[in-house]
Amino acid sequence: MKVETSAVLLAMLGVASARPDAVRLFRKNRHAVGDSAKFRREVPQEHSHNKFLTGVGAALNLNNVDQVQDPVFALLGNAAAAQGAGLVTNLDCLQQRVADQAFTNAKAANDVEGMTNALIFRALERNTGSVGLASVLCNETAKNPEIAAIQQHQDPASNGAAALNKQITLDLAAQLSSIGADPQLALQSGTFAPGQIGDTTGAGNTCDTEDDTEGCIFTQNLLVEDATADEINAAVAAAGGSASAGSANANVGNSTAATGAAAADDSCEDDGAAASADAASNSTAGAASDAASGATATTGNNVNTFTGSVGSAPVPVISSNAAKPFSVNGAEFLNQGAAIQRACDVQKNACANAANSGADASITVADCDAQQQQCVAQQNGAKRRQAAADTGDCGSPAISFGKQADRPDEDAFAPVDTQDFQHGSALKPAVITDFICQQLGSKCGASDATVQACNEGADAANSLSGQAAADAFNAALGV
């Protein structure tokens, strides 16, 4: 996204120090950041998708546990975002935290439109310091797997942005379908045409009309769609969803959600009820669009050898001679490890549903978690290792778990090949696996099959922890 000049920070700091309610005034009259035009931000774009900003604000304020002043702060760079982040201190994750809480609130209210707005908001691009600079990814795991499956769009001029932003849109489409929304709405999360690297104004090709209810990226026809409608349909089908789901939600984001925007701003209510309602969402993002129960194999052989049946029967993993030879409930995979992971996750999701609904009072969600770990561990030990992936101009994409050079006091994840994959360690596997997959597709010039295998391995790792997560990712790439 584009540069946020020091003017915005100075303006917001100056106003905030003069009046305690400055941030709230910023919310109610966003164009009046300063008393003169010199305090106007010259090149932001956080209001470009205003309809989703308004919609997610209404859902967030149903139970604004982090006291975030307004969702718009989550789309700013960290310096400006801090002024309205409420109780959130990890500013790299403010956007995810807002989307996650809004989704939780909307899910508890059975509000598909609210959940849709939260998902799309999570995928919007954040402001950064210059044209071509990517924003930092969140290093936390969202409570809702649907939100955890998505990251923000990156500056379209940044390295590898075209492929990455397209994948984000396709991932978003699958999650929209999983909640019954129109997956084609994912296209509306897209950003602008790439700006010119080195542009000293930082403007790129943006707009930021604050009083445009729809969003200036739409009304000024500046949106660059990341994929085609057919690609959206194919991605949804591959995830086991329906390409036509939720067509009635085509106007999502244009609701009267603004009426809730002023509610419960300073709420610090306990969110235990919402968390309880959301407990069944502890499955991985990939499992969100699958059916709650195992599918019956119709062709090919079932290679899922796990026999545990706490809360749900094992889910078949069908092996065939197709281009993607493994399938789980209609979702196809290149490698067996990722397919096994999906089957274990789908079984866990069904088990958690049974535990939370009271259908089986003898089990708890913890039992379901334990069974998932057993399922993955058994399959990882028994399955045939994949052939090593072709990584193009780069070396091994393997990750390690344990004490790292930059983090000697705690276990963390890190790339094994630090020359080709230069990234510090992280406590969550997704931070490292997503980086490696992005590098394979851009800098390394790896094949599409390798990038696909990497993405599947990342999905497999993200629902696990510790060495099991590293093993799942490495196995998917044959390293």
Nearest by Cα to 182 from 145, 236, 231: 236
Q: What is the pLDDT of residue 118?
A: 97
Pairing mode, strands 399-404 and 331-333: unpaired
Amino acid at 370: A
Query: Is 149's pLDDT higher than 80?
Result: yes
Helix, strand, coil share of the chain (percent; to 5): 45, 5, 50
Nearest by Cα to 153 from 142, 132, 168: 168
Domain ranges of the chain: 45-260, 282-379, 399-477
Could you give phi then psi for residue 388, rounded to 5 degrees? -60, 135
Query: Is 203's pLDDT higher than 60?
Result: no
Q: What pTM does this model have?
A: 0.49
**C-alpha to C-alpha distance for 299 and 319, rounded to whole angstroms:** 8
- What's the pLDDT tens digit per position in 269-306? 333 333 333 333 333 333 333 333 333 333 578 888 88
- What's the pLDDT tens digit per position in 26-44? 333 333 323 322 222 324 5
Based on DSSP, count helices (H) and strands (E) in the chain, helices before strands. 16, 6
